[in-house]
Structure 1
């Protein structure tokens, strides 16, 4: 995409997502992420009815009368968008290629966060972390994130999900709401996913084109792995081959879903040709 195309696409995405973020999705986001944590505010003298578990024993001993720690709701949150920019995420056989589909979802989440006075940041990764946009507030900041996703150089390489998760844990120690976008084509360590799931609130969004999961009967086809460049000829007219391929993809998806479940995290499978508002709404509703 050249600069004019990117500007045009960003504007289109802003217009399309305005309706969804002004509707029930915004309300559901706010009720989900409002006041999910407690942070220390001050220490004051004990008053009748205070929770004795809040007593500050050090100060109580020093002044010989009870003092309690006052806690308040954490109103401001950080949303981190992690986007896989390996080459397999840069194509589509339907109405939108994956990068555009992901950019629109990120805009929807980002604008919802802005409406809740939350910060939004971005990590673009493939075989390594390529770009990090630190969390900030504001609509213009979200549009800059969307632009970065659209204009990124998608890498012909294997995706290092482990490296991306390790970077997240080192760079962002405060609990965040993490949305991880990938086709999860490559293997990852369950232990790394568990570490992220225990520290942050994690949602994996598996973004797939319909041809990722099932290949139609089109005769002999030269198939190229977008990440490794490896090419092989396959006979798609063979029903056994098509069935075996589809079943392998189903088993892979099942394994990914189980890994997220074991890691106190959530996973959504999204088809890039279908709407995403309802699955997101349902996810927010369960939190």
Structure 2
């Protein structure tokens, strides 16, 4: 992608997602992603009605008058974007590739994070980790992440296992991690279990409608992730049924996996409205927090 074209895409994504954050998503993000706890802010004189459990007895003894401790939420969070940029993400329909959708998703999350003064980092992976960006604050950080997600070259099949192992190694403190992928990968259940126990791990599955319900006809699939080109006749009812059954079984496996470890997750098709999807997701998280 030429530099000028890349800058236009980054700018277009920035304008679109920043507007959504400013209008609605940013506030919802703040309400569902809490800080790590409470931190001490100050002491002040006791006022009738204050909770006696907050009295600072050391200060009270020195001043001969009751003083109470005040606390504030330890708000600052770390948001990690663990993003699949393997060759299969360069597939899509409705004039949008999965890779473009994931850039918009990460921009929406990233701008929501910096709006709330949180840090954002990136682990971009394919067959291996292609890029690690240390979590930092600021719009420049988010723009750099968007640029890399559009520009980075990918190599090899999707390897979620290696990506999560790398994440667990570099991110020791608890974080909120969005795992964005089409999940065309295997043997990562152990790593996803470990990551979900230590962090708030949120899988975001991206797919193209063509992958779940292909139109009738003969199609040549170009090589993706080391495979050879394949010609498939989807005009055959039997082929379509077998294909759809394989997709159903894969979806069922992922659904059961995410639920097994208590993870909230999103499924997004390339033509979906990400604002509506995240608005619905955040409302779901709010309801769970109130239980």
TM (norm. structure 1) is 0.86
Could you tell me how far apart the structure 1 residues matched to 2:40 and 2:188 are?
39
Give 1:81's aligned residue: 81
Q: Deviation of residue 154 (structure 1)?
A: 2.5
1:142-178 superposed Cα distances (whole Å, 9 cap, x missing partner): 11110010101032x2211111111111100111111
Within 5 A, what are the aligned runs for 1:12-23? Answer: 12-23=12-23
In 2: Cα distance, 1:225 partner to 1:202 partner: 31
TM-score (norm 2): 0.85
Cα RMSD, aligned residues only: 2.4
SS at match of 1:130: strand
Q: In structure 2, how many angstroms separate the alpha carbons of the residues matched to 1:11 and 1:171? A: 30
Is it true that 1:151 corresponds to 2:151 in the alignment? Answer: yes
Map of 1:124 onto structure 2: 124
Is the contact made by 1:94 and 1:209 (CA closer than 8 Å) also made in structure 2? no
For the residue of structure 1 that corresponds to 2:190, the secondary structure is: helix
Tell me the residue number matched to 1:4. 4
Determine the C-alpha separation between the residues in 2 that align with 1:231 and 1:191: 32
1:238 maps to which of 236, 239, 255:
236
> Where in structure 2 are there 5+ consecutive unaligned residues?
55-68, 286-291
Q: CA deviation at 1:99?
A: 1.3
Question: Which residue of structure 2 lines up, in the alignment, with residue 254 of structure 1?
Answer: 252
2:216, 2:172 → 1: CA distance?
Answer: 49
Counterpart CA distance in 1 for 2:256 and 2:265 is 9
Matches within 5 A, 1:185-264: 185-219=184-218, 221-264=219-262
Alpha-carbon distance between aligned partners in 2 of 1:222 and 1:15, rounded to the nearest angstrom: 36
Cα 1:141–1:189 shift into 2, 3 Å: closer
Give secondary structure in 1 for the equivalent of 2:172: coil
Structure 2: distance between partners of 1:242 and 1:207:
21
Structure 1 gap ranges (5+): 52-68
Residue-pair matches, total: 268
